[in-house]
Structure 1
Amino acid sequence: MSGVIFISLVLLCGVRDVHSDTNLAALSKKLNMLDRTLKAWKGTVVDLGTEMSYNVDFLESSLKEELTNTLIPALIKPLVLRIQELEDRDALREKQIQNLTEQIQKASSDPSHGERAEQMTTVTTHASSDPSQTARTAVTTTKKPATQATPSPAHCGDLSGASRRGNLEEVKRLLSRGVDVNCRWRGSRTPVMWAAYDGHRDVVELLVGEGADVSLVDVVGNNILHLACIGGDMETVKFLLSLHVVDIDARDKRGQTAADLARLMGHTRVADLLVSRGAQ
């Protein structure tokens, strides 16, 4: 009987040990699964942190690029154009004053000027005793001969305006009427300068073919490449560079190069083109 009891106890303990081993293995497996789950969550958190950091950097870079290439140039460009317009107007006024001063000096140094004034005074004095003669004399002495008529600058303004608008047919028509292809208009700019400024390559090519001088500068020292880079038309800039006439590093009276103006106006592709062609 005692032997039976002993064997039963041994068997019972063995079963309990086996059952305990089974429970321990299951617990170990659950712990391993939990550990893998935690590691997976940790990796997900790291990935999310990296993605958020990338998105922040991307947004910051995009915002900086947007400010640099779009918003700031959009604000600066009207100011630059307005400043240039005012400078052109002042320069034009100074030039008109200078021309008027030269005309006055030339008239005062002309010996015949005094004689004509004296003759007019004499005629008026003699005619004062005869009212009818005075009237006739006034008509005769104040009429300017047709050969002394001052040529109107309107034709140059017409050609420059058509060039600025890119009206190719009107440009051809005005050139056929004999308008000087290198005439000066506002800011002492030629028609080809205005065409380059507003990015009309076809008009620029036409005017160059008709003898337009691309080496000239306006009142503030801008050459045609400066003006084309302000406008920002890539094809016009490429065409002007192909002529190999304008110094790519020439500076205006403010010390700015064509590349400087392209960057200022936000035309980064134009600035990169100039740098690739050797601009400093």
Structure 2
Amino acid sequence: MEFKNIVFNAARDGKLRRLKLFLDHRPKEEVKLIVSLRTNGATPLLIAARNGYLNVLEYLIDKCNADIEQVGTVNFDGESIEAAPPIWCAAAAGHLTCVKSLITHGANVNSKTKTNSTPLRAACFDGHIEIVKYLVEYGADIEIANRHGHTCLMISAYKKHLNIADFLITNGAQVNRKSFKGNTALHDCAESGSLEIMKLLLMNGAIMDVDSYGMTPLKAAALSGHTPIVELITSLRLCTQLEAIEALELLGATFVDKKHDILTALTLWRKALNLRNLSDNCPIFKLMSEPNIAYDKAVEFTTVEQLDELAIDPDLMRMQSLLIRERILGPSHPDTSYYIRYRGAVYADSGNYDRCIQLWIYALDMQQKIFDALNTMTQSSLLSFVELFSLMMSKSISTVRFSDLFSVLRRAIYELEASAGRVGALNDHDLTNYNRTINIVLSFLGLLCRLKPLITVKQDLQLKTETYRLVKLNPRGKNGSSLLHMVCNVGETSFALFPFYEMPVIDICGLLLQVGHPVDVIDSAGNTPLHISASAKHNNPTQFMTLLENGAHLDYSNTTGKVALDLVPTDSTNLYQLSRLKYITLQCLCAQTINKNRIPFKGRVGLKSLEEFIQNH
């Protein structure tokens, strides 16, 4: 370990003399092995290339036989780049002499990282024009895209590197190529505000097209607030009259929500209104939606007089921006629900929780209609509700209405219900989201248990009915944990989502057991909730007794043959003083006797459930 650190630190600091003193006298095979070792995922050669130490890099290649194509993990701007080869590191960091040396030594000019990024793309990202030219001269393929389908031209446009974009186009870059989500280099210009590159692309045959969200570069520029690009596209008449109008309306919404500039927004909306009414014989009308409570029954302006009235009420202006964005972008665009949630958060910060909840539920419904179950955006909305309701309760429990909290619980359970039939086929990402959604649902149950002193008999029945629906789904988390396992496991890695105070574990246990959750359900290690409750990590005698009083078997064994009391820490055994016979039935004693005497029972007792009972003893 010590010699590895010596070599790594010498490469990191560019100390060639120290490297030579340590390595020159060693056998070649040993040296080659040493320089292939990794520290924090990187080899000495990668670090030398990353930091631009040409003398160290060439010594490692020429004298130490370091593999010129070895890959590892390096850090750029706080981001870990995996499977990066030395030439990528040198190109990304702007070290031209190292790039030249590596190519001279035979490095693959088109080698890729884990995300399919090439050295050329790395150089384009940070604007290293001389490296870009050199790599292309030595065979770099300018059309290799990363894992998202983004090309070198696209990243140059997004990062506003005009000289690189010009060079790439001169060397044949495809100006109308699309990423996997359908965006082109024009979209990237529009999002970043690269006016000069947009002019360059248009001069070289770039055309306006839509991405997978139906977004044109014009709409993308309006959403990002880049007025000069909106003006360029509309002045060149690269769009229809309606597209120009909607771009101005979107731009106004952006000035309201992102730039907090209401006066400019009014100016833009007035201009859009004038364009709508430009022809008295054939005005371009808005497609108006029905007023809804989430927007406080607001409707879009259609006249100059209505627009003037907005100027005296900033809150009405904000509702207009939400209405405009939903009408033009549609509910499927991420920005639509994002800004609804953003506006709700602003209300919550000012203490107007009712308006926040109305907007957030509207956004959540929008997401659940459009996205498949377990979508990350939907999960983010549900998590926000957990934080909001727990914050409200930490201030005053009476501020939370049962109807609001219960309605969000039902929507969270829907996520589990909608994915129940495909849990076994979920990929790692969706499986993680599935487990998190279970945790979110349990957090809502905890919040509702906190609210129990204030709810009516009818509401209590509603809660139990919905909890029964959840229990019937039998969702399982990591290691086969049931809902009851997870509740007993709070404080470990399960669902500690209460940001302001302790989870009411006993109350949730009681609720689950009341609606019929099996008390002796086992996880993949054969542990019952009683095992979890007794273990050293949790050691909760009150919870332990709650489970026992609800029928948990004290003598159930896990896969290692241990019963729950075997897991109690020795310094806590006095807390578990109980009469074991009180909780062990004659049936339990019979099962123990069968196992102790190794009496064959499988296929002979008649019932599978009885076989499982004996097996668990």
TM category (shorter chain) comes to 0.3 to 0.5
Please tell me whether Structure 1 or Structure 2 has the larger radius of gyration of its CA atoms.
1
- Give the TM-score normalised by the residue count of structure 1: 0.44
More helix by share: 1
- Give the TM-score normalised by the residue count of structure 2: 0.21
